[in-house]
Chains A and B, each alone.
Chain A
């Protein structure tokens, strides 16, 4: 038996209460340092790098089960899916040509007007590997990190619209705070009339809100909200939300609009991180 498992005959250590007090103090100092100065991000990303391999191993059986389920897909479904994808690809290629023409024209106009041209975006595809058990923020972990060139602050989208923003980067993974988090908001513009507003999360996966809306603002249920690009974080023109209903003010002078996010928050496994293109 190792000596550590036995109680010492003569106590030569601090009492339980003293040790407890000491640990409490350390915890409080750590929390203050982390909350005020963000001093712990290096320790956090280091620790995550260490446990990442173990986590990958843990996730593996679940992925295997999912893949095994997919193996037994019906032939008909596959053919139908392929036809649909081919059709979509044709449409997208037509739209891409249009887009390239527009981009060329845009470049020319920018040079004519003497404005610097805006950098394009590269897309880093990523897969959601885990949702974090955090009672304060809505966030997910994706399997792309600083090794793949991801940096904090970049927007994350799926095929339908905006999902959120990269908030922390670890070596092989990154933390994405979802748009539906209460502390997240995005500057948007109504597609119909160009009105600029802010849309914020409600802490609920399927709803967003416009918190302080003018009583007479021209916003109707069904309006599509696109990102306006004014904050310099989200590029302009990404679909964000659809207005569901306008709530008239009851206790305060502002109306409130309830919206539905267009991106499939909490549904998809694959997302795209938008990175600025390196310019020559």
Chain B
């Protein structure tokens, strides 16, 4: 029996990509298009009273690709996406770029470990990262004299963290990744 070619019964991940994942690896256009779409989502006319709750879709998609295609989306992509966010939202140039680079760096450090966790386990690892990124933006803005920070915006980080699992499911569907191991192995 070929052990390498099949998913192991005890829930561990096989060493070599399987099935569809092997057939349809993420490509650069796929990564860039999904990042652009997520960025555009943040530009929708959200209601003014709930702006502090609007999740950071760009960061969700960026971290997704950091985990699944680190050769395609690493620090350079994080930097570029951050600059786009800063330019379009009228913030200090480099504010989001820096915080995204920090988030990407942490995820790339954690990546080897994250690969062996289920979706929920990954969510638990990444949950503190989203409010941390928002806090970093607020603190850096304060340090550079941008005036009073609105601390309610930390809530957006929590909303983003809560959206990690659904976002991953949607991204898996859109990019044609196969169902995750935790489901295949039945827990």
Residues of chain A having any CB pair with chain B under 8 Å = 1-2, 4-7, 16, 19-20, 23-24, 26-35, 40, 43-44, 47-48, 51, 54-55, 58-59, 62, 129-137, 139-140, 168, 175, 181-183, 203, 205, 266
Residues of B within 8 A of A20 (CB): 75, 101, 105
Q: Which of B37-51 contact A (CB under 8 A)?
A: 40, 42-46, 48-49, 51
Q: Are the C-beta atoms of B87 and A47 separated by less than 8 Å?
A: yes
The interface-forming segment of B147-155, B163-171, B178-186 is B147-155
A185 CB to closest chain B CB, in angstroms? 12
Give complex CA distance A29, B45 in Å.
Answer: 31
A239 CB to closest chain B CB, in angstroms? 22
- Does residue B94 face the partner (Cβ distance < 8 Å to A)? yes
- Those 5 A-B pairs whose CB atoms lie nearest each other, nearest first: A30-B94, A27-B98, A135-B153, A27-B94, A131-B48
Residues of A within 8 A of B26 (CB): 5
Residues of A within 8 A of B153 (CB): 135
Q: Give the nearest-CB partner of A46 in chain B.
A: B87
7 contacts between A and B (CB under 8 A): A4-B72, A5-B72, A30-B93, A31-B95, A58-B40, A131-B46, A133-B156
Residues of B within 8 A of A181 (CB): 147
Q: Give the dominant DSSP class at B's interface.
A: helix
Q: Are the C-beta atoms of B90 and A134 separated by less than 8 Å?
A: yes
Residues of A within 8 A of B91 (CB): 134, 136
Q: How many residues of B contact A (CB 8 A)?
A: 56
Q: Are the C-beta atoms of A35 and B92 separated by less than 8 Å?
A: yes
A28, A51, A54, A140: most-surrounded residue (chain B CB, <10 A): A51
- Does residue B113 face the partner (Cβ distance < 8 Å to A)? no
Q: Are the C-beta atoms of B97 and A30 separated by less than 8 Å?
A: yes
Among B54, B79, B93, B148, contact of A44 (Cβ-Cβ < 8 Å): B93
Residues of B within 8 A of A16 (CB): 75, 105, 108-109
B72, B78, B146: most-surrounded residue (chain A CB, <10 A): B146
Q: Are the C-beta atoms of A203 and B101 separated by less than 8 Å?
A: no
Beyond A30-B97, A58-B40, whether A132 also contacts B89 by CB under 8 A is yes
